[in-house]
With several copies, the nearest count.
Chain A
Amino acid sequence: MDAQTLIARRIARELRTGMLVNLGIGIPTLVANYVPANIDVFFQSENGLIGTGPIPEAGMAHPTLTDAGGRPVTALPGACTFDSAISFGLIRGGHVDMTVLGGLQVDQRGLLANWMIPGKMVPGMGGAMDLATGAKRVVVAMQHVAKGKSKIVKQCSLPLTSVRPVDLVVTELAVIAFSEGRATLSERAPGISIEEISEATEAELIIPQRVPEMIL
């Protein structure tokens, strides 16, 4: 299983029936492909849709039914649409039960940087700051290491997305949970040792006596 698939599958196991879930672009989007059987969730697209379904078959799209990137989507029965003020009221007001966001860095208190690299491309924060600040639960989907450097750092060197800590980071190596300003290694990827994770992690991790393998 490649890294992205592993991360998406593991995060999909966080879904519970009835949840309103917002998926960011990149790896987070893949989570929708692995919703466990018997789990029914609502996917929100922040451009104004709840009940987002899969990408339409060729020739069956409509130009006014799109995701946050402007790409065609479908809507499931029971879907609803709304304006951007309501969309972000749902997000900021804590009505979104879980958001899955990409990450550039997460520090050991759980603070996330995911929206810009100074001096490089500045795409704009879009909805990321509102999602990271307002969603009931924030899960970060990212590779553990980029260009040889840990993305789970002692302190973010990149501009923060929010000062509200994330709840969970899932990488191709580990699941790390954040609470009360501390990072705890809670699961290992299949076949990955605690030592390998520690070595790939700049942040200080609390390592419990027993660190189970991810169930995917």
Chain B
Amino acid sequence: MKPIPVAEAVAMIPDGAVLLVGGFMGVGTPERIVDEIVRQGKHELTVIANDTAKPGTGIAKLISAKLVRTAIVSHIGLNPETQQQMHAGVLTVELVPQGTLIERIRAGGFGLGGVLTPTGVGTVVEEGKRKIDVDGQDFLLETPLKGDFALVHAFLADYIGNLSYALTARNFNPLVAMAAATVIAGAEHIVPVGLIAPDHVVTPAPLVDYLVANE
């Protein structure tokens, strides 16, 4: 798989696309892909990610450029712009408990019909959701999340698309790579095939559709 220029990768994303984005408070988010989305001005995006980061980093750049119509996230507390746009009614924010969010993405990627979680039972999170009793305990049925594109940031990629991650930059990345129709990955280093030991590959090559070149 020959890496492609970031502009070419991002050109495939239409306005209105649903993006699954790796990263946790900006750590492990593919910054160059995000920057190029801002440069190309993709509009009306839905972003599914852990959080909207802090101003100036990761997903916050998409928020600041007013490209996001809907954010499905667990946390917006470190990004006042997200709050402002939410209160102004230009951005819809769906808050999801973090453990539920990652399981919903996993369910989307793993072909499951949903997640039965105790988290949120008896709180405002349960509004509008089905409760399922299993052996006398109530669980919320949380539905799968999928995306049109996953934007993934790896530490190492090889030239067929195997990915491995560095430390806490792993976070949502391996899960979003399973849950999108098209996976675009960036990596700190792109290495020849065979240099990542089979046991150290976290995202198998067949999941990755496009690798962004390090120019």
Which A residues lie at the B interface, using CB under 8 A?
18-20, 42, 45-51, 62-66, 68-70, 75, 77-85, 87-95, 97, 121-130, 133-134, 159-164
Contacts A51-B198, A83-B172 known; A159 to B160 CB distance under 8 Å?
no
Contacts A80-B162, A81-B198, A123-B76 known; A46 to B175 CB distance under 8 Å?
no
Which of A45, A79, A125: most chain B CB closer than 10 A?
A125
Question: Within the assembled complex, what's the spacing in Å between the Cα atoms of A79 and B202?
Answer: 11
Can you pick out 27 interface pairs between chain A and chain B where the beta carbons lie within 8 Å of each other?
A47-B25, A47-B171, A48-B171, A62-B167, A63-B169, A64-B155, A64-B166, A66-B24, A66-B25, A77-B194, A78-B160, A78-B205, A80-B205, A84-B50, A89-B178, A90-B178, A95-B178, A95-B207, A124-B74, A126-B97, A130-B97, A133-B118, A134-B118, A134-B119, A160-B124, A162-B123, A163-B123
The interface residues of chain A lying within 8 Å CB-to-CB of B98 are 46, 84, 88, 125-127, 130
The interface residues of chain A lying within 8 Å CB-to-CB of B122 are 160, 162-163
Q: Are A83 and B171 in contact (CB under 8 A)?
A: yes
Look across to chain B and name the residue whose beta carbon is closest to the beta carbon of A69.
B25
Kindly provide the distance from the CB of A78 to the nearest chain B CB, expressed in whole angstroms: 4
Q: Are A122 and B198 in contact (CB under 8 A)?
A: no
> How many residues on B have C-beta within 8 angstroms of the other chain's C-beta atoms?
67
Q: Are A83 and B112 in contact (CB under 8 A)?
A: no
Question: Which one of A83, A95, A128, A160 lies within 8 Å of B175 (CB-CB)?
Answer: A83
Q: Are B206 and A50 in contact (CB under 8 A)?
A: yes
The interface residues of chain A lying within 8 Å CB-to-CB of B121 are 133, 162-163
Q: What 19 additional pairs, Cβ within 8 angstroms, besides A81-B168, A124-B51?
A: A20-B204, A42-B204, A46-B98, A49-B167, A49-B198, A70-B25, A77-B193, A78-B158, A81-B170, A83-B174, A85-B102, A87-B102, A88-B99, A92-B111, A124-B74, A125-B95, A127-B98, A129-B125, A164-B118
Q: Are A93 and B178 in contact (CB under 8 A)?
A: yes
Cβ of B75 under 8 Å from chain A: yes
Q: Are A42 and B74 in contact (CB under 8 A)?
A: no
Question: Which one of B103, B160, B206 lies within 8 Å of A85 (CB-CB)?
Answer: B103
The interface residues of chain B lying within 8 Å CB-to-CB of A19 are 206
Cβ of B201 under 8 Å from chain A: yes
Q: Are B206 and A81 in contact (CB under 8 A)?
A: no
Cβ of B106 under 8 Å from chain A: yes
The interface residues of chain B lying within 8 Å CB-to-CB of A97 are 206
The interface residues of chain B lying within 8 Å CB-to-CB of A125 are 74-75, 95, 97-98, 125
Q: Are B174 and A68 in contact (CB under 8 A)?
A: no
